[in-house]
Amino acid sequence: MAIGIIIPDRDPQPIVSELKRYLGEEIQVYPHITKVETITSILAWKQPKGIFSQFPNLELVSSLGAGVDHILEDPSLPSTVAVTRIVYENLGRSMARYAAGAVLQFHKSLLAYYQCKEKKNWDRNIPFEVEMRIGIMGMGKMGQEVGKLLLAMNFEVYGYSMRPKFIPGIRCFSAENQELSNFLRRINTLICLLPLTEQTRGILNASLFAQLPPNSFLINLGRGQHLVDSDLIAAIDQGIISGAYLDVFNVEPLPPDHPFWILPQVYITPHIASITDSVKAAKQFALNHQRLALRKPLINRIDREVGY
């Protein structure tokens, strides 16, 4: 029951050292994995596509992050393999602080004041407070943390998820009850925290933007593939979206010639809204590896049918 670590874009050492504190099993790190038949659990992030078919005894693949789209999209993943993700309280809280920061920048027009400073312009005509009716798409653990913090800041908060949810203080709508339009017509600020699935790919598109009031805000913290980039640019041109905070992109790093870099209404951060702590990830993965051996239910196991 050996372990495979396949995280080519990160330093695996902190994870390996941490795993050794909990597990006696052999740990093999990509690209130096030699005994493929011994590996039953893999921790993966941005793994080379097709790699899972090399492991005949694979039982568990854990994402190193909260998203599992990179794993589920890999056609080499056998249908019997359990998939888990790493989520813990502070990851959600960190995401919530990012979302709240972006909301406040729009709410208090802070970005406009930064631009004024560049021109030494003392402008007291900028709206000092913009009304925000905030809708969160994706009411899983992350979405709920974001909602909780925004509620505590006394914002009006709505939620939208694939299946109906009941969350104190947040009026929730669902895809299952076909309530997207009903949700969108109440809000002027949209935060996307959806998982990436076939149903949600490209959901931030022209038809959705057309249902928002003029001068709305978009904060995308899910995946770049939720957004149709050209539709956002058109929505900005049409005055539907007056500010967009984007942390995730269709292509990462965002190519230097992408129009988002020069659009003044678009604010960019390089996929840092909430970063998984290697030590916490290693601990959760080790626990699941042990639970697998004992045939106990796995922590943060996702439903492969629905994709989250």
Is residue 271 among the annotated active site residues?
yes
Q: Is 284 in the site for ligand OXD (CB under 6 A)?
A: no
Residues 6+ apart with CB under 8 A from 27: 2, 3, 5, 16, 19, 20
CA distance 199 to 259: 27
Pick the piece of the chain touching ligand OXD (CB under 6 A) from 23-31, 64-72, 189-197, 234-242. Answer: 64-72
Q: According to CB under 6 A, which residues from 91 to 120 bind ligand OXD?
A: none
> 276 to each of 63, 86, 145, 283, how far by Cα in Å?
10, 8, 16, 12
Q: Is 67 in the site for ligand OXD (CB under 6 A)?
A: yes
Residues 6+ apart with CB under 8 A from 47: 6, 7, 8, 30, 70, 71, 74
Q: Is 144 in the site for ligand OXD (CB under 6 A)?
A: no
The CA-to-CA distance between both ends of the chain, in Å, stands at 26
Q: Smallest gap, in angstroms, from Cβ of residue 242 to ligand OXD?
A: 26
**Choosing from 271, 289, 291, 295, which is the catalytic residue?**
271
Per rule CB under 6 A, count of chain residues that contact ligand OXD: 4
Query: HSE of 281 in the Cβ direction (CA atoms, 13 Å)?
Result: 26
Question: Furthest-apart CA pair in the chain: how many Å?
Answer: 68
> 176 to each of 161, 166, 204, 211, how far by Cα in Å?
8, 14, 18, 19
Q: What Rg, from alpha-carbon coordinates, does the chain have? A: 21
Pick the piece of the chain touching ligand OXD (CB under 6 A) from 63-71, 96-104, 284-292, 295-303. Answer: 63-71
Q: Is 66 in the site for ligand OXD (CB under 6 A)?
A: yes
Q: Smallest gap, in angstroms, from Cβ of residue 26 to ligand OXD?
A: 27
Site string for ligand OXD, 169-208 (x = CB under 6 A): ----------------------------------------
Q: Is 98 helix (H, G, I), strand (E, B) or coil?
A: helix
**Choosing from 85, 223, 226, 289, which is the catalytic residue?**
223
Residues 6+ apart with CB under 8 A from 148: 96
C-beta closer to ligand OXD: residue 37 or 252:
252
Choosing from 4, 12, 65, 159, the residue that interacts with ligand OXD (CB under 6 A) is 65
Q: Is 4 in the site for ligand OXD (CB under 6 A)?
A: no
Per the CB < 8 A criterion, the answer to whether 25 and 1 are in contact is yes
CA distance 34 to 207: 50
Per the CB < 8 A criterion, the answer to whether 4 and 39 are in contact is yes
C-beta closer to ligand OXD: residue 10 or 291:
10
Q: Smallest gap, in angstroms, from Cβ of residue 186 to ligand OXD?
A: 28
Residue nearest to ligand OXD (CB): 65
C-beta closer to ligand OXD: residue 65 or 143:
65
Q: Smallest gap, in angstroms, from Cβ of residue 247 to ligand OXD?
A: 9
Q: Is 307 in the site for ligand OXD (CB under 6 A)?
A: no
Choosing from 276, 278, 284, 288, the residue that interacts with ligand OXD (CB under 6 A) is 276
Residues binding ligand OXD (CB under 6 A): 65-67, 276
- The residues carrying an active-site annotation are 223, 271
